[in-house]
Amino acid sequence: MTGTASLQFGLMLATVLFLLGLIGVLMRRNLIFVLMSLEIMFNAAGLAFVVAGQRWQQADGQIMFLFILAVTGSEVALGLALALAARHHFGTLDTDLISRMRG
Amino acid sequence: MTILLHLSAAIAVVSTILVITRLNAVHALLYLVVSLLAVAVVFFLLGAPFVAALEVIIYAGAIMVLFVFVVMMFNLGSEIVDHERLIFQGPIWVLPGLLALLLLLELAYLILVPATANFGVAMIGPRQVGIRLFSVYGLAVELASFVLLSGLVGAYHIGRRYRAVPEERGR
């Protein structure tokens, strides 16, 4: 597969995965599923970076993926800690119920 | 090579659709792992083996273990026995296993047929990535370490408060 076709295919795959993650964030009400959908979106963005980096034969795309990996790691740690705290304080993981909190 | 790329992309999309439509969090996590493995195969086929390895080790390994750990912490109670029973009787793991088996067959094909090891795309290995990462992007590496440190401190702080509250109520 030539460079341009591979770029087109990779970007299409990244778009589809990102949209699926976005649908998951908007559709699901469980906090764990929202975090999982965020993971899918991060992964799709990283895929787009790597695909573009491979198209122009530069290592920068892969380096951007490494930074996305670092951001994702801290995001997951914080998000899951917040989910534990929300479960403890509100007794539920439903984002509709959690959004009632005040202050 | 194109067929392998399309197959792993299809596996990624199908398992991602199954992730966002599952009701049980553990089932969704199984499909999410399969989706990440499929994306790792796509990375490898595009000529980025270092990122493919990191995708398997960090995403499908470390981050998913974190998710599984928290989901298992939430699933306390009597219903856990029914869940355990479902694992052995139901075909829950069959479809993720099948998708992962397809990816394994792709990988075995790639290893066993060395003529296809070079697909016409130039590989960018860990050597070039590392040289560029620690020369041009040195400042960004430091900033990434700051992000990871803030994640660590934040998670510790929130988790500590979560643990300390029931002790006060006990008194």
Mean pLDDT along residues B92-120: 77
pLDDT at B55: 93
Q: Which residue has the higher pLDDT, B78 or A91?
A: A91
What SS3 state is found at A30?
Answer: strand
Element (H, E) at B114: none
What is the tens place of the pLDDT at every residue in B24-65?
Answer: 888 889 899 999 999 999 998 888 989 999 999 999 999 999
pLDDT at B123: 81
What is the tens place of the pLDDT at every residue in A34-87?
Answer: 999 999 999 999 999 999 998 888 899 999 999 999 999 999 999 999 888 888
pLDDT at A102: 64
Closest chain B CA to residue A92: B74
From A13, A61, A82, residue closest to B12, measured CB to CB: A13
pLDDT at B68: 87
**E strands, chain A, in order:** none
Give pTM, 2 decimals: 0.85
From B6, B12, B58, residue closest to A17, measured CB to CB: B12
pLDDT at B97: 85
Q: Which residues of A touch B116 (CB under 8 A)?
A: none
Q: Which pLDDT band holds residue A94 (cuts at 50, 70, 90)? A: confident
Instruction: Classify burial at B83, counting beta carbons within 10 Å of its beta carbon; exposed 0-12, middle 13-18, buried 19 or more.
Output: middle
pLDDT at A103: 53
Closest chain A CA to residue B59: A69
Q: Which residues of A touch B62 (CB under 8 A)?
A: 73
- Find out whether B106 and B8 touch, Cβ atoms under 8 Å: yes
Read off the amino acid at residue B130: G
CB–CB of A84 and B51 under 8 A? Answer: no
CB interface of B with A, residues 78-107, below 8 Å:
none
CB interface of A with B, residues 83-102, below 8 Å:
83-85, 87-88, 93
